[in-house]
Amino acid sequence: MPPNLETFIIAQKQLVQEHVDRELVLPDMLNDGQRLVYDSVVEEFRNALDSDTYMPGNPIAMGKGGVEKSFLIRAMEYGIWQLLKDKYGQEEYPTVRTAVKLAAFTGKAAFQVGGVTIHSLLGIGKIDGGNILPLDVQSLRRLQRDLKNTRFLFLDEMSMIGLRLLYAIDRRLRQIFPSHHDKPFGILIVIVLGDFGQLPPVMDAPVYACITESSHSVLHHSFRLYRDSFTRAFELTQQMRQQGETDMDVRFQNALLNIRMGEIQKEDWEFLQTRVLTQLSPVERAMFDDAVVLLSMNKEVDERNMHMMERVGTPVAKVEALYHGISREEGAKVDSDYCNNLEHVLYFVVVSTVDGLDVVY
């Protein structure tokens, strides 16, 4: 590691900020469907600010993979931030994340859109039938401080948010904003995005589940919350990712659609088999040496990451967390979801240099 750690960390933050700035999305860059959602959310929020009223209902923005929901998210959060900054000043709203919090069920999904996990953002631990453990005073004050000026909560990958988790989110936000405990989600405007054709909730009932008289009271409450709070839905249909018109492009699009619907055909399987890594030529295979790899076990992920760092050929630094109030052994057992995604052990290696600054992996 560099001799001046503080300077090194500041330089890394500057690189991250420059990366964020380059990804600025303005309304004119959106397609028609995206712009419709943007105008509905941002313009209605502008009117609500001007008249000091609440926005009517929470919106849903859904669409299959490739319609660039993340592109829309960046446009909306920047537009919301600009409105709040213009009205209340830079000191009250120094960054986008002051105005808009962005979260998803899993760390990987949250990382893709520049957010955090729902559990770490709201301090949600184990959900027992829908009930969540109360927060200690210090943790509650921290959350109230962090969300003091927040007006929007974006929840991505909505297919993985079940009724029990939705109930827990609502309960926690009412705790965080006690003066608005009688309103759904406290005072926050919640926008959910994603595709119900993707992964369902883990050990939870999806929001579209069939609720019966014998269902748990939490499911009944959460079902009503979802039905009554999310009153507007938008569907994004313009494909922005898979737009090619070659035979391979069309077959790939059809395979993705059939997999999404659970209706995979024999020709889809045959097509995907042609892209199995072992079936490719050595030249094509080499193109995937630095590709992102999905693995089923954390142990395999750790081994893959270590292998990639060793390939760089520079020293690998190992940084272990320090704990206060609990032992090292107890701290190592705490899931990173409850520590703002900070792991017990972090590994760093310098992979390149940009303008005299080291970029780490």
Mean pLDDT value across residues 137-154: 93
What's the chain's average pLDDT? 85
Task: Report the alpha-carbon distance of residue 6 to residue 1 in Å, rounded.
Answer: 11
Lowest mean pLDDT among 39-43, 136-140, 244-248: 244-248
Task: Report the alpha-carbon distance of residue 26 to residue 8 in Å, rounded.
Answer: 32
For residue 293, the model assigns a pLDDT of 85
For residue 341, the model assigns a pLDDT of 64
Task: Report the alpha-carbon distance of residue 145 to residue 139 in Å, rounded.
Answer: 10
DSSP structure class, residue 41? I
Where do we find the tokens 């035979």? 247
* pLDDT tens, residue by residue, 232-256: 999 988 876 656 678 888 888 888 8
State which fold the 31-236 domain adopts. Rossmann fold (3.40.50)
Task: Report the alpha-carbon distance of residue 151 to residue 166 in Å, rounded.
Answer: 18
Q: To the nearest whole percent, how much of the chain has pLDDT over 90?
A: 43
For residue 110, the model assigns a pLDDT of 82
Q: Which amino acid makes up residue 137?
A: V
Tokens of 97: 């994340």
Where do we find the tokens 């009517």? 56
Mean pLDDT value across residues 196-225: 91
- pLDDT-based confidence at 18, cuts 50/70/90? very low
* pLDDT tens, residue by residue, 57-111: 899 999 887 788 888 999 999 999 999 999 999 999 999 999 999 999 987 788 7
DSSP structure class, residue 340? T
For residue 292, the model assigns a pLDDT of 81
For residue 259, the model assigns a pLDDT of 87
Mean pLDDT value across residues 276-292: 88
For residue 89, the model assigns a pLDDT of 94
Q: Which amino acid makes up residue 82?
A: Q
Comparing 268 with 331, which gets the higher pLDDT? 268
Domain definitions of the chain by residue range: 31-236, 247-275, 298-360
Tokens of 139: 């943790």
pTM: 0.75
- pLDDT-based confidence at 219, cuts 50/70/90? very high
Question: Given CA atoms 163, 166, 172, 178 in this order, what sign does their dihedral have?
Answer: negative
Comparing 107 with 149, which gets the higher pLDDT? 149
pLDDT at 20 over 50: no
pLDDT at 19 over 60: no
- pLDDT-based confidence at 360, cuts 50/70/90? low
